[in-house]
Amino acid sequence: MDQGKNNQTNQRLKQLSREMKHHLKTVIIPFWKKLRDNDNGGFYGFMDYNLQLNQEAEKGCILNSRILWFFSNAYLLLKEESLLKEAVHAYRFMMEKCLDHKNGGIFWSMSYDGKPVETIKHTYNQAFAIYALASYYDASCDQDALKTAMELFELIETKCRDASGYLEAFDEEFKVIDNDKLSENGVMADKTMNTLLHVFEAYTELYRVTKSEKVKARLEEILEVFADKVYNPKLHRQEVFFDREYHSILDLHSYGHDIETAWLIDRGCEVLEDKKIIEKMEEITKDLTDQIYKVAFDGRSLANEAENGIINHDRIWWVQAETVVGFLNGYEKTPSKIEYLDATEASWNFIKEYLWDHRNGSEWYWRVDKDGKPDTQKPIVEPWKCPYHNGRMCLEVIRRIENAS
């Protein structure tokens, strides 16, 4: 790339970073600060499309973990003490209410005043608690947070897996139950790509702050499962739902998960600092990114998924956020692919115009159609809708661009 083009590209990246920081500081952070429940702990669990807050709605433990992760990382980036205070608030709710002090593990959901509602234990949920606690430890240096994260790691490894990988759902005492929380599209999966991905994500963060050899060994095993069982080289995609032996049970191409997986695996490999693993997995992550660009990106946004070859054209909040990070990651890995940078900017522009809800006191819509019309039946806040994806998008873009400067 000649100097003129290089300078132009750098200016584009710096502008993207500036816009992300402004969005983070003026939209996402203020919105979620307002959802802090000072009376009962944690953060309020539901706001409908009309921006009516239900202060007595259930509080999902995944929601709380993701908020803890978000404010911890926002503090690590911005160094504003108010952000650490929000993280402390979320941490206390997790430790006092979400954690099962009798049987171990994290519950699925709590009542608004902190009583267990759904007491099932899901591997996905345990993973997000680890992810949050590891980041909170990094932000606060609280040794109890790290101790709890390692205890949850041991719990997953002893109670939530079989010889070939991670099982999904359990009752309060860790007896296997149906995986209705992370199954969809008419199937009931014994194992899912989604849970495996977020166990990997959590263990990456845990290894980053501990350098534990046990955690490292599990990360390497998970990468082998992705390469050998989950990734489908013939179709240039991941399979999504599996039986216990990792046989795919549904023809589903999850566009959002593939672009998310590409950058999360690259991130994990960088933390592992193993050149052989990086080289092996980059072949896969580059293929996933390239295929998503070819089949799912329309020049301005990403479709949701394709089941049995039929495309769902909805534009989901988290899919668009992961698209921005995924294509920026693809561009960083292969700077000659300037189309990935173009796609990063186009996706962000779509978000600004259509997914960002500009109404006073709101954040992002849950879903819009491919023309940008919002789904008025979907809430603004619910147990899965939180600052994890869009907040992380901002944090990742800012970090990557500022670190490269």
* Cβ neighbours of residue 139 closer than 8 Å, sequence gap 6 or more: 72, 73, 75, 76, 84, 87
Structure tokens given for 83: 């952000």
Check: CB of residue 191 under 8 Å from CB of residue 244. yes
pLDDT of residue 5: 73
Instruction: Report which DSSP code applies to 151.
Output: H
Q: What is the CA radius of gyration of the chain?
A: 20
Domains in the chain (CATH in brackets) are 58-250 (1.50.10.10)
Distance CA 93, CA 280 (A): 41
Structure tokens given for 24: 């983070």
How many degrees, rounded to 5, is the angle at CA 287 between CA 284 and CA 288? 85
Element (H, E) at 170: strand 169-170
pLDDT of residue 186: 83
Query: Which string of b and e fits 347-375 if b means at least 16 CB within 10 Å?
Result: bbebbeebbbbeeeebbbbbbbebeeebe
Structure tokens given for 278: 């990086």
Query: Which string of b and e fits 92-130 if b means at least 16 CB within 10 Å?
Result: ebbeebbbeeeebbbbbbbebeeeeebebbbbbbbbbbb
User: What is the tens place of the pLDDT at every residue in 85-142?
Assistant: 999 999 999 999 999 999 999 999 999 999 999 999 999 999 999 999 999 999 999 9
Check: CB of residue 46 under 8 Å from CB of residue 111. no
In the chain, which residues have pLDDT < 50? 1
pLDDT of residue 74: 98
* Cβ neighbours of residue 234 closer than 8 Å, sequence gap 6 or more: none
SS3 359: coil
- DSSP H helix total and E strand total for the chain: 13, 14
pLDDT of residue 53: 98
